[in-house]
Structure 1
Amino acid sequence: MANSIASKNFTALSNLHPNMANLKIIGIVIGKTDVKGFPDRKNIGSERYTFSFTIRDSTTHFVNATSWGSEDYIRSLSDSFRVGECVIIENPLIQTKDLEREEKFSPATPSNYKLLLSENHSTVKLCSSYEVDAKLLSLIYLPVKESCDYYSLGDIVANGHSLDGKIINVLAAVRSVGEPKYFTTSDRRKGQRCEVKLYDETESSFAMICWDSESILLAQSWVPQETVIFAADVRISFDKFRNSMTATVISKTIITTNPVNTIVDVYTVEQLKVKALKNEGKAEPFYGILYAYISTLNIDDETTKVVRNRCSVCGYTVNEASSTCTTCNKDSSGFKSVFLSFDMLIDLTDHTGTLHSCSLTGSVAEETLGCTVDEFLAMTDEQKTALKWQFLLERSKIYLKFFISHRARGGLRVSVLSCKLADSIEASRNLSGQGSVQN
């Protein structure tokens, strides 16, 4: 697949300085705040609106961007993109940031600058994931803090009151995601709240509270007992009502979903099956890297379902017979509440065996195949077959998530987190037993 956007002339975030003009910047959105209104001091009785987001264009550089303007403009701009999507920013104003004031409320960034977007001069354009370099897309899985710099949930509970009010990092799996609850405050401001239960090997249940719509929307995409998050800069506090410690997502927080860079253990198929037997009965998922071929990819078989409807509210598969989401009980016939998403099962094979029925879905499938769902549906059978053979002949480096399930084939449910063609030298080194293999 040719990346049409990759060859265009963009300014790297590492090269920013205040005297630059007519800039064009591309990056992936890794964090975003809600729209807020403030009294306009220049026009008494009216309000100005603002929201901020954080974009990243490399492993080491990310910056905050803030936009101010009328309510219609700001809400429209905020609604035009989400966390995890790529945007092109044109003509931003570069300002030196006030470290003490801004990083108290905004995500800490390695840059000395911030971007200011004006309604009259700046533009933000969403670009499709299949148009940009895969390296840019992969940055969404890279935490903004060192992947080893976090507290276990057990440590938080053990430290108790000594961490009250502290801002720390947390790495944990998602046990459950509560339904968003909406309320109106005494001064008639609308609010929302969502409680996420986390767990790790040290603690079975720990509450994280989301108060803003952006983090709540992100949380609704998490799959309980499957999704892992790295939450950078959450506030820890003691909840007197619960008599326990809790985490709160704040304006500084950036959450990385399924942080692939924390996965370092390389396995063969045979080793994975042995590990699955050892882990039988355990609720926690485990992760690994596999150098293998995709040996079954039935994207050109009309009898196999490759694309399915998913609920736009919770992300789960919609019952196609009833057009109803059984998870949040939304009837899709009355409003636009579904979207098409890849949803397929593939087999992965190396020299030791085959992993059957691995799940390849959503944006991971789009990135792997190099096309959107709409583009795929427009392909001829011959084009689909040609696309399939691009993968059947090549060894890939595949990041996988494993979950013990008696309902799954072989007792192991496998989800693909990332699948890219492997570097031949790296693959041969790991296949010869020199990689980081955990039995």
Structure 2
Amino acid sequence: MADETTQTISATNMDLLRFATAGSVDDGKSTLIGRLLLDSKSIFADQLEAVETTSRGKGYDYTDLALLTDGLRSEREQGITIDVAYRYFATPSRKFIIADTPGHVQYTRNMVTGASTADLGLVLVDARQGLTEQSRRHAVILSLLRVPHLVLAVNKMDLVDFSEDVYTKIREEFTQFATKLNIPDLEVIPISALAGDNVVNRSESMDWYSGPTLMHHLEHVHVASDRDLVDVRFPVQYVVRPKSDEHHDYRGYGGMVAGGILKPGDEVVVLPSGMTSTIEGIDLFNKEIAEAFPPMSVTIRLADDVDVSRGDMIARVKNAPQPSQDIDAMICWMATKPLQPRQKLAIKHTSNNARALIKDIQYRLDVNTLHRDQDTKELGLNEIGRVQLRTTRPLLCDSYSQNRTTGSFILIDEATGVTVGAGMIL
């Protein structure tokens, strides 16, 4: 039975890969995504024709693949990516969601947003420029966000005559830098997004490279074991009470499984009340299923009529998160007005809402050098730092390294309703 469960989990999780692209301006992120979409046959003929027409109008003698992804007019005019653009495509073995994140330092917050849910981070570097401050900053942010897989794509190899020495130098320099970070899995691939070398099809010009193409790696990287399948965490988002006569006795609790494997018959505890019960059934749409695991959205029915509402969490009786009002976290600040001690903000953690007081800013992290500035008195726009908070009600949280869902939160300006910070619990 255990083997069948593992196979089911693997097959379901391998069905979808979320990855985020990052890199300096003009490293070719948008062109690479355009190439992936084009060579995986994920572009409609009229889309391709429109891009070819635009390219001819600008005097290009090739199809400008970046036009397929830079959707905002201001992005096209400046030739840069500003907002996070999500693209969807599929191959016979896997579905993909791409978060194309901006490279500019002033859009760090956008990159954090795009990479926070990614299974894999794809950092591009220009083979002519080598590693830049931006490249290192993006790797540090992906490491902070605990993105488990990282690919360094050495792009524009056609502009350095497909030199193995150039590739080797960049690979060794980045590998050495990555030892300071928390990067469990690293792959370095030489590509030319414009020409298509080693993107989907293997490059004849780089016969010295024996590793996988980018698409082969994306299709086969193992992500099933990245999620926490041990600690059961089910934040309740909604109490399901159908109004129809046919289901007038139905009472279920809807939400997304954040951790662990849930099965009918399991003994569970509802937090923060501490009431215990057993799972009577698990429903997915209109059918009952044998088990639920991350990141499935399901409805759970309990055997006992216990009081459960939005913001509560269902967990295992002997493996429940400890409620805490004192939170120690790394924060990426996203507002123009700096974050300062004694500031009061709203906090949203899973499906739970509370208010928070900033007790202390311990240090600001220089994401280029990893230096900790302990003299800082505030966090400015796009800066990352370690902060201590006190919440008005206990939060049922885990460390971010254990569970990226229950270990993260957002901070909201109560006056405007705008999200001003993203936090990772230590």
* Same fold, judged at TM 0.5 (above): no
Structure number with the higher strand fraction is 1
